[in-house]
Amino acid sequence: MPNMTFAQALNDAHKVEMERDPKIYVAGEDVGVYGGIFGVTAGLLDQFGDKRVKDTPITESAIVGTAVGAATVGLRPVIELMFVDFIGVALDQLYNQAAKMKYMFGGKARIPMVMRASCGAGIGAAAQHSQCLEALFMHLPGLKVVMPSTPYDAKGLLIEAIRDDNPVVFLEHKLLYALEGEVPDGTYTIPFGQVDIKREGKDVTVVATAKMVHTALSAAEKLAADGISVEVVDPRTLCPLDEEGIIESVKKTHRLVIVHEEVKFAGSGAEISAMVAEKAFDYLDAPILRVAAPFCPVPFSAPLEQAFIPSEEKIIEAVRKVRE
Q: Which residues are catalytic?
A: 129
Question: β-pairing, 114-119 with 144-146?
Answer: unpaired
Q: Where are the alpha helices (DSSP H) in the chain?
A: 6-20, 44-48, 60-72, 91, 101-104, 134-138, 151-163, 211-224, 243-253, 268-280, 302-308, 312-323
CB 298 within 8 A of CB 121: yes
* Residue 180, helix vs strand vs coil: strand
Distance CA 210, CA 174 (A): 10
Among candidates 118, 100, 122, which has minimal Cα distance to 109?
100
Question: β-pairing, 196-199 with 230-234?
Answer: antiparallel
Q: Rg of the chain over CA atoms, in angstroms?
A: 19
What single-letter DSSP state applies at residue 104? H
* Residue 102, helix vs strand vs coil: helix
Amino acid, res. 141: P
5: phi then psi, degrees, rounded to nearest 5: -80, 165
37: phi then psi, degrees, rounded to nearest 5: -70, -20
